[in-house]
Structure 1
Amino acid sequence: MAPTNLLPYPSTYKNITLTPNTTISYISAGSPTLPTLLLLHGFPSSSNQFRNLIPRLSATYHVLAPDLPGFGLTTYPSDYDFTFDNIALTISAFLTALNIGTYAMYIFDYGAPIGLRLALANPSSIKAIISQNGNAYVEGLGHPFWDPIEALWANATPQNYEIVRNGVLTLEATAYQYTAGVPPDDLPLVDPAAYTYDFLKNVQSPADQDRQLALFYDYRTNVAKYPAFQAYFRESQVPLLAVWGKNDPSFVPAGAEAFKKDLPRAEVMFVDAGHFALETKVEEIAAETLKFLNKIGY
């Protein structure tokens, strides 16, 4: 069990080059001698989404939060294949380069299918999972949010791509990701700079939008892998905490409850928040994360 009486380490901002054209930008905090906790962000964000969580974890854990390729400050070759399979391979190479053998992971949104691919590839490496609005069940897909994306999967026409582009890849839609489902009294806690940065850095340009559209289309492969993810849960019985913004329009509470089908000992906690629950409920989520990891002896 990790010690709990240490002062937090400051967040440090680093880069590691994996290939001549691939450099992962990441946040590191906490002593490397502590157990590792990998934080995997989602759409349309970056490691910056964990800026308030990391200081609450780094006294107890060696925290790593990479920018996924296509997001934040990570760089990649011009012919990078924007699929979830390929991003998972890149993050696996990142962990290998840092000599990380075992770790717990906090998975959110896109980070969930990426992290769960890592688990399928090397189940013994994963000591625990915290899933914060990180879906692995069809029951968790919220509608009507997913309707235009599912239409794209069924028929990848230019018209359907444009519907997704115009409906999701705008500043207004990015702000909606942060504010939808947030109780009115908590809205002042949502930092507009966070979603503005996400839009400017990850969504605004035509090239950004082409990358994001490629990932929206490829998300169908995540749904196809749900049975494999669920088999991993059943076979490994990995300790899992699902902590969920209960008002998230994209990944609904049924997705959190569904973990119990395959992991009877899974813990499920709901907070009165939206998709980016850390913006308004970071204290509660950090406390529950630490409590859970301490209880399982990690």
Structure 2
Amino acid sequence: MSQSNGSTFIKKVKKNMMLATAALAVGVGSAYASPTQHKTVEVEKQTIFYREAGDISDPTIVLLHGFPTSSHMYRNLIPKLADNYHVIAPDYPGFGNSSMPSVNEFEYSFDNLASITEKFLNKVGVKKFTMYVMDYGAPIGFRLAHDNPSKIEGLIIQNGNAYDEGLRDFWNPIKQYWADKSDANKQALADALLTIDATKWQYTNGARNSEAISPDNWIVDQALLDRPGNKEIQLELFYSYGTNPALYPAWQNYFRTHQPPTLLVWGKGDYIFPEEGAHPYKRDLKNLDFNILDTGHFALEEDLELITNKILSFMETRVHNKR
């Protein structure tokens, strides 16, 4: 064993001994590196809420959430990673517990959400990191990666699109809205996508067993969508999503040029981002662990343990090469 590997091994042994002692002290079977902390920080006059856990001296994993949820979607994953990694998951403005300025007070665009996220990471001192991107987290995260390639240690992609092949039938009404931002098209999207039935559908469609998915997910998300002014925010972002396909070639060039180690875990039952959007990543990424899972859009709800194990193995063997 090399001196450097020996030091890493000793550090982990000491940490595990401390965790075991803490577990016995509180009378539970296991303990995590630290409990999840719920924090806020001011960025560009916005209050950004974030969840954080783990030892800040460990490698960082940044978790970027999708629509219509928040860092709440990672509530169960965070403690499972925190024994070995520093984990941080922000809420974008207009989502979760972050500020929700009106559409007249704040630019709700993917460019601006990426800018706020980058400034947030700078402010909390995250310099190098692996990103977990899902749904909206993909166009936000891929902007960050394209503009800051030296900061990216790895990518974890879960039902997040970067190819034209991934925009299928679900997107047809939204594409009509991109072409014509009329009140009629806006109302059609609000009626179709911003109701409790639509939010529940995102969690249950394509799942193996919808009864295994807690209704707390769509109840929490819908309560936030139903805040006065939030539907207008989401409609602005539906429109702004039209800026993303034009950037796909640049993101694909980033993949080809920088070849970040990548773990892809994709729910094949997802109607929003179908499996057709997953396979093109194989064209551009050579260091790719590619996995199609038998679940839907919010894959963590059914496959938390499987995805956790994939992440831990990926981080050990491909990102930090400890084995």
The residue aligned with 2:160 is 134
The residue aligned with 1:195 is 218
Q: Deviations over 1:107-135 (max 9, x none)?
A: 00000000111111111000100001111
The residue aligned with 2:263 is 241
The residue aligned with 2:26 is none
2:318 pairs with 1:296: yes
Cα distance in 1, alignment partners of residues 40 and 243 from structure 2 = 29
| 79, 85, 100: which one aligns with 1:55 | 79
The residue aligned with 1:102 is 128
Secondary structure of 1:49 counterpart = helix
The residue aligned with 1:16 is 41
Cα offset, 1:77, TM superposition: 4.4
RMSD of aligned Cα (Å) = 1.4
Pairs aligned (count):
293
Cα distance in 2, alignment partners of residues 35 and 279 from structure 1 = 25
2:208 pairs with 1:168: no
Q: How does 1:1-298 map to 2 (within 5 A)?
A: 6=16, 7=19, 8=32, 9-19=34-44, 21-75=45-99, 77-78=101-102, 79-143=105-169, 145-183=170-208, 186-201=209-224, 203-298=225-320
Secondary structure of 1:147 counterpart = helix
TM-score normalised per structure 1: 0.95
Secondary structure of 2:278 counterpart = helix
* 2:71 and 2:90 in contact (8 A); partners too: yes
Pick which of 262-271 and 37-46 moved more.
Answer: 262-271
Q: Deviations over 1:125-183 (max 9, x none)?
A: 0010000111111111232x111101111221111111111000100000000000012
Counterpart AA for 2:311: T
Q: Which has the larger radius of gyration?
A: 2
Cα distance in 1, alignment partners of residues 58 and 194 from structure 2 = 39
Cα distance in 2, alignment partners of residues 64 and 192 from structure 1 = 25
Cα offset, 1:33, TM superposition: 0.7
Cα distance in 2, alignment partners of residues 165 and 171 from structure 1 = 11
Cα distance in 1, alignment partners of residues 276 and 82 from structure 2 = 31
Counterpart AA for 1:15: T
Cα offset, 1:80, TM superposition: 1.1
Cα offset, 1:68, TM superposition: 1.0
Q: Deviations over 1:179-222 (max 9, x none)?
A: 00012xx2222110111110111x11451110000000000111
The verdict on how the C-alpha distance between 1:76 and 1:161 changes in structure 2, with shifts beyond 3 A counting, is closer
Cα offset, 1:255, TM superposition: 1.4
Q: Deviations over 1:73-129 (max 9, x none)?
A: 111544110000000110111111111110000000000000111111111000100
Secondary structure of 1:270 counterpart = strand
Secondary structure of 1:10 counterpart = coil
The alignment-based identity, stated in percent, is 43
Cα distance in 2, alignment partners of residues 43 and 225 from structure 1 = 20
* 2:93 and 2:101 in contact (8 A); partners too: no
Gaps of 5+ in 2: 20-31
Cα distance in 1, alignment partners of residues 237 and 85 from structure 2 = 31
Counterpart AA for 1:29: A
Gaps of 5+ in 1: none
Secondary structure of 1:63 counterpart = strand
* 2:50 and 2:71 in contact (8 A); partners too: yes
* 2:261 and 2:319 in contact (8 A); partners too: no
Cα distance in 2, alignment partners of residues 105 and 92 from structure 1 = 12
| Greater relative contact order (CA < 8 Å, ≥ 6 in sequence) | 1
Counterpart AA for 1:225: L
Cα distance in 1, alignment partners of residues 314 and 220 from structure 2 = 32
Cα distance in 2, alignment partners of residues 43 and 101 from structure 1 = 26
